[in-house]
Amino acid sequence: MEVPCYKQGFPSEKEEVAGLKREQQQMQDAIRNYEDVDSWKTVVFLYNAALKEVGTKLEILNDEFQHVHKYNPIEHIKTRIKTPESIVKKLKRYGRETSIVNMVKYINDIAGVRLICSFTSDIYRLAEMIGNQSDLKVLSIKDYLRNPKESGYRSYHMLVSVPIFLSDSVVDTKVEIQIRTIAMDFWASLEHKIYYKFEGNAPEYISLELQECAQMVSELDDKMLLLNEAIQACLENDI
């Protein structure tokens, strides 16, 4: 499967750093504009607005795909704002002090969207559609399908920036988009629950079992994709 070629192109390291710095400054300016409002509430407001923008855009893309191709690449969409507890834990893990500034600067997945697909081919198709949106800027990409984590985790991560138009300013706000199949999502959800119980220190035999399960999930995805392609070929021959 070919890597999608975005109209925007892949961001260089310099462009990625510049984009993140610009977004951080805009976020800080927005917080200062609402000095009479709790800073945390202002940040949550902006990230919620970004989720609405991205969520609507993805629903429209899905509807368009259904209209043109009579097929929905997205099974369902999940959105969430990271809890204050999770943000604090992550900052401590990074060795950073707990502050609004550090939260905006170092935590890229405060606003998260998860797209669940049927087949691995849908993942790259959706990534290309998202990357070609003129009002979304792709800041970085992590392809854990081609390069799975040591644990066996597989998914496709896009960090994008979406402009939030306020009454007197525009704030580019980060949203992490994760794209994965149903099988990948099933594995990742269980892996998260298991490691949460062990607080990240699961016995080695459990980690090995999870890696084996991840391989089984990968093989299942491959077989289901081939089966779907065979079904489509049969239908086309019958026409």
As annotated, the active-site residues are 176
Paired strand residues for 115? 77, 179
Asked whether 47 and 81 are in contact (CB, 8 A), the reply is yes
Instruction: Give the 3-state secondary structure of residue 100.
Output: helix
End-to-end CA distance of the chain: 27
| Strand 170-181 with 111-117, pairing | parallel
**Nearest partner of 191 among 155, 223, 141, judged by Cα:** 155
**Nearest partner of 123 among 58, 67, 178, 62, judged by Cα:** 178
